[in-house]
Structure 1
Amino acid sequence: MDLRRAAEIDFGPLVDREFHPSPAAWEDEVLYFLMLDRFSDGDEGTPPLRREDHGNAVTTEEDAARWREAGARWCGGTLKGLRSRLGYLHRLGVTAVWVSPVLKQTPFEETYHGYATQNFLDVDPHFGTKEDLRDLVAAAHALGIRVILDVVLNHAGDVFAYRDDVTDATWFGHPYPVAGFRDASGEPSLPFGPVSDVDGAALDGAVWPAELQEPGVFTCGGRIVDWDRYPEYVEGDFYGLKDLHLGTGETDRYTPSRALQTLARVYRYWIAYADLDGLRVDTVKHMDRGAARYFASVIHEFAQSIGKENFYLIAEITGDRRFAFETLEQVGMDAALGLAEIQDELEWLVKGRRDPRGYFDLFRDSFALGKDSHTWLRNRVVTGYDDHDQVRKGDWKARFAVDDLGHRMALAAIALNVCTLGIPCLYYGSEQRLDGSGGNDRYIREAMFGGAFGPFRSRGGHVFDEADPVYREVARILAVRRAVPALRRGRQYLRQISGDGVGFGYPGTRSIVPWSRIFVDDEVLAAINTDPLLPHTAWVTVDAALHEVGDKLVCRYSTDPSQGGREVTVEARNGRAVLLTVPAAGFVIYVRR
């Protein structure tokens, strides 16, 4: 029987079982974010995409128009499809899958992305069923993969319409009159109030659970125009997505609304029902900090009560780092996501267009954040460079591998991401060098399984290619990361280099970029080469307190297989240094012999 009210949830039978435990440390994990509609449809009969098929969907303008339009609609990815590809992720080395929202969407729109929830108590039929979600999580756990679900608190879908006489409902600091809740066809034919007892009212109309139909649940303030003006960005609608009133008061004295209490109960239900390991909370910037703190407290307490002592809440907080980390500390969530500075510096460092200090210094100013050790950042920020929004890139968005330079440097970008501070997160398809580009989000949301909106402007072929050189090398790098604690938990230092062994300085563009991770008394040296065409050799500084002249470091990983097992000798240069050669666009890891 379908749930209609959050109050109907019976937690007794849900929590009377053993749950999958939390990890000891989330910085040990490697996240993989996927848009469920675009990842896998489970069709094992789809052939692999051949290189000569790239562009086969855009050979004529008519074909290209059909391909573009397909990207704006549901493409067919499902929970069962994701389950069928868990082995692909496991062999890559992924240990936690972050899944885009799966709850039921407004049925009259193509909200394939999942952020327009109409029924918070059910899974969208495009994705499958509640049971499919539960089965996916169980199958992932059997492979050692945790599951983080993307959830929304700030808003619901476009579940009601403003009155016809409201010509332009932009935020102006006052509520607008509402015509009614939308029915399954999108018409505002339902009363703007409780509809559960209205003849003919169905779960496809209005908003559910029924507690969200009560007066005062929505702010009705119109859409946001200025995304940085307070309180507009907190009280306004997210385009057509309708803002929820979550409560009132200062952060320390916040009174949660009935709507917020209802949603907290709903997400406790999904944690227990599916045995989830974490939540990624959407648009935290656009919520009252008191609301986010209330939610974090309720969810953490519930998770601990069922044995998930380190259940992780990842907050999407757009803006600069100081704003993000100040918000993170005030709301009590565990890690920040959506830090444009980190994404931007990482991308352009690897492409040889930024001073590497720009990226590494982001992890060195912890005192300015009120922290006395930069290792605080190892589990307080989720790092990456591609994502499904790319707000930082404005109107024209593109994946890292969009051009020849990005194609060549793709492995180096992933290597830098997964072997530096933070909880690394790969955006789906990066390991296959997907290259989406265009003036709309759809182009960076290709369907890996092919279909009508396949990657590389194709149709009909999948790209789950485990023989691809980037996929294969990432799997090798992640295996080393699992085996070497310093690469997951160690302090981090950008190292100085020298061409002649005499004059040392920090690396510039088109050079070796080396860094150390130090854990207890163990130093691991890693380096990328930002030159896509030529190998580079340089003296690289190491910690003089940890190495004696004559000590050896051995190559644990290199993109040049002939370097595997090669030893380098510590010499008395700039304190202590070793001579490294890094292949073009390559990556190396050296450890103590």
Structure 2
Amino acid sequence: MHSIKIIIIFSVFFFSLNSFGQVDRMEPPFWWSGMNTTQVQILFYGQDIADYEVLSEDISILDISRTENSNYIFVTIDTANKEPGAYTLHFKNDGKTAYSKVFELKERKSGSASRSGFDSSDVIYLLMPDRFANGNPDNDTTKNTIENVDRSNPGGRHGGDIQGIIDHLDYIEELGATAIWSTPLLEDNEPVYSYHTYAQSDLYKIDPRYGSNEDYQRLSAAMHQKGLRLIMDYVTNHWGSKHWLIEDLPSKDWIHQWPEGFRRSNYRMTTQFDNNAAKVDAKGCMDGWFDTTMPDMNQSNPMLLQYITQNAIWWIEYADLDGLRVDTYSYNDKEAIAQWTKSIMDEYPNFNIVGEVWMHDQAQISYWQKNSKIGAITGYNSHLPAVMDFTLHDALGTMFNEDNSNWNEGMIKAYENFANDFLYPDPNNLMVFVGNHDTNRVNHIFQSDFNKYKLALTLILTTRGIPQLYYGDEIGMLGDKDNKGDGDIRRDFPGGWAGDSQNAFLSAAVAGGRTKDQQTYFDFTKKILNWRKENSVIHSGKLLQYIPQDNVYVYFRYNDDHRVMVIINNSLKNHTINTQRYKEGLQDFKKGTDIITDSNMDLTSQIFIPAKTPMIITLK
């Protein structure tokens, strides 16, 4: 009888501590002991919750902030030197405890702070989860999300999910990629176009049509078992119109407001550093909205900035991430996003973050990389380790369709791009790519010309930087954004759905597997990716390039121990090149092996290279 009373009393006590009462949300839901970020701002949300006092006997409360919306209260606690455990915060009214909430500090994973991010030894495989593979059809449509699955709609939900990625990690590993960048997986509850997932409605929740937070952890663990790295696509500039915080703002200045209600960004990112720019134009870029469904967030609001900083760190720690890709980096308040980036890098000094800076001039892109000489002119440092090489992307989209060399067409575009590397503080930490989820498919641009695909892939896999591939390019997938819209460049990967007529995840040797053409693309990609994986000279060696002649581009990657000679013949003619011109790169090497054809070569006098052909020659 006494034991029963004890159980009842304990149960009531435990319930009272964890009773939500007026707390509908608490974010972050927990934190970790031993973090560099020890001053944690906890957002509590509930009806008129600001009317309460918040006290704790367990943990120091540094600050309590209220906003114009009484449904919010922000409590900053000090977790320094606190052991893992449960810490109770009491909500009091008239001196009496109305309810209490437990905030947990978890034990941090060993070595978490020193985790290494992705780097130039990696090849990143970019996929859109909704279009890659459907591993769990049961979550295609859920009761708490608006848009239902409709695979017949190119701009609709198709059902791909986290389980689909897990199910095909062997495919990505076989291909030779070493990291996965998935477009955002957090909840996007827009009524239409929600598969895009850049209009997020909950920053602490995986979209249930993709799976659960725990599924994301499973993906990370499964990838790490295979030596693969996981990169999260993070959005700081805008949220979705259905975000629960947007629907009941803590204060009006959490988003950029306009008298007319909505004003689209002018997209002129140059106004961020143009000393001559009119203030109205700079404001029009930074504060304008991407779309009516994407409210533009005001990162200069310190509560919002702390919210998104903690959220990013929370996901890195929770999901054991290896990197972030930050969407529309250069549209944020530049001082605030620099602070956001620095806070994350202070927490994880060996981490990597790549920002989308979609500009068409090397100096302008360089402005956004950490320790930029260009940024220093205006006293700015973004603290952003990596940026995307959009000028190389621009060149790749045209130069392989330019068969005849002249002063500014053909392979000279590649040469000129790398000639501007002096502008970057760290050229090896640039993401290089032929295409992604926002651009025309490379094989559409090349009209399914496999030789042109070989030239482009050879270039991005052997030059400086971190290569990124877009899912399906390795099997020749097509997509025409200009005429058919985004859905066409984001087609379903064949075989990712039960009942697909063909499965490109499987070899052509298997019935119903890849077509002959798909296998040709795959085999070439696989061969170079797996060779690259084992050759550190390509990861970190110096780049020596020669001015292209007759649309033939030659460059070397080299270090103290190894040298690789790359030849890209972009002309319609066979060529024989005199090796004497390349003596600086060849040094005393007289023999080599073309790893593409496995052919041994004599380099003493000349090299024959067929039309529209690449060579990757390891020197012996």
Q: Same fold (TM over 0.5)?
A: yes
Aligned CA distance change for structure 1 residues 106 and 546 (closer, same or farther; 3 Å):
closer
Q: Distance in 1 between matches of 2:314 and 2:500?
A: 38
Cα distance, 1:518 vs structure 2:
1.9
Alignment partner of 1:544: what SS? helix
Shift of 1:136: 0.3
Q: 1:98 maps to which residue?
A: 181
Conserved 8 A contact 1:134-1:273: yes
Decide whether the 8 Å contact of 1:296 with 1:333 is kept in 2: yes
**8 Å CA contact retained: 1:399, 1:435:** yes
Q: Is the 8 A contact 1:26 1:423 kept in 2?
A: yes
After superposition, what is the alpha-carbon deviation per residue over 1:347-385, rounded to whole angstroms, capped at 9, x for unaligned? 323333533122122122234x275xxxx3112x10111
- Cross-structure match for 2:369: 328
Within 2, Cα distance between the matches of 1:418 and 1:548?
23
Query: What residue is the counterpart of 1:17 in the other structure?
Result: 109
How far apart, CA to CA, are the structure 2 residues paired with 1:403 and 1:427?
15
CA distance in 2, matches of 1:432, 1:418: 17
Matches within 5 A, 1:225-304: 225-228=265-268, 229-240=281-292, 241-247=294-300, 256-303=301-348
Q: Which has the larger radius of gyration?
A: 2
Once the two structures are superposed, residues 90-119 of structure 1 have per-residue CA deviations (whole angstroms, 9 ceiling, x without a partner) of: 111111111111111124233101101111
1:132-211 alignment, distance < 5 Å? 132-159=215-242, 206-207=244-245
Deviation at 1:346, TM superposition (A): 2.0
TM-score calculated relative to the size of structure 2: 0.70
Residue matched to 2:549: 507
Give the aligned partner of residue 569 of structure 2.
Answer: 529
String of CA shifts for 1:27-81, please: whole Å, max 9, x gaps.
111111111111111379xxxxxxxxxxxxxxxxxxxxx9996111011110110
Alignment of 1:346-357 (within 5 A): 346-353=396-403, 354-357=409-412
Q: Aligned letter for 2:465? A: G
**Partner Cα distance (2:587, 2:565) in 1:** 16
Which SS does the other structure have where 1:524 is aligned?
strand
Contact 1:345–1:358 under 8 Å retained in 2 = yes
Partner of 1:582: 609
Identity %: 24
3-state DSSP of counterpart to 1:590: strand
2:478 is aligned to 435
Query: What is the number of equivalent residue pairs in this alignment?
Result: 472
For residues 542-581 of structure 1, the aligned pairs below 5 Å read 544-545=583-584, 547=586, 551-558=589-596, 561=597, 564-571=598-605, 579-581=606-608
| Residue 14 of structure 1, CA deviation | 4.3
Cα distance between partner residues in 1 of 2:150 and 2:208: 24
SS state at 1:150 partner: strand
2:414 maps to 1:359: yes
Structure 1, unaligned runs of 5 or more: 45-65, 160-204, 248-255, 304-308, 391-396, 497-505, 572-578
* Counterpart residue number, 2:257: 220
Supply the RMSD in Å over aligned alpha carbons. 3.0
CA distance in 2, matches of 1:25, 1:542: 36
Asked if structure 1 preserves the Cα contact closer than 8 Å seen for 2:322 and 2:351, the reply is yes
Looking at structure 1, the residues matched to 612 and 172 of structure 2 have their Cα atoms a distance apart, in angstroms, of: 24
**CA spacing shift, 1:90–1:124, aligned 2, 3 Å:** same
**AA of the residue aligned to 2:30:** I
Q: Could you report, residue by residue, the CA deviation over 1:397-418 in whole angstroms, capped at 9, with x for unpaired residues?
A: 4543455454442122111111
Q: Give the conservation status (yes or no) of the 8 Å contact 1:535–1:582.
A: yes
Structure 2: gaps spanning 5 or more residues: 1-17, 34-104, 138-148, 269-280, 371-380, 404-408, 509-518
SS at match of 1:479: helix
Structure 1 contact 547–570 (Cα < 8 Å) conserved: no
Distance in 2 separating the partners of 1:147 and 1:140 = 7
Distance 2:172 2:476 in 1: 15
| Distance in 1 separating the partners of 2:133 and 2:435 | 19
* Cα distance in 2 between the residues matched to 1:548 and 1:257: 57
CA pair 120-548 structure 1, distance change in 2 beyond 3 A: closer
In the alignment, is the contact (CA less than 8 A) between 1:486 and 1:523 conserved in 2?
Answer: yes
Matched to 1:377, the amino acid is P
* Contact 2:132 2:160 survives alignment (8 Å): yes
Partner SS for 2:218: helix
The aligned residue for residue 345 of structure 1 is: 395
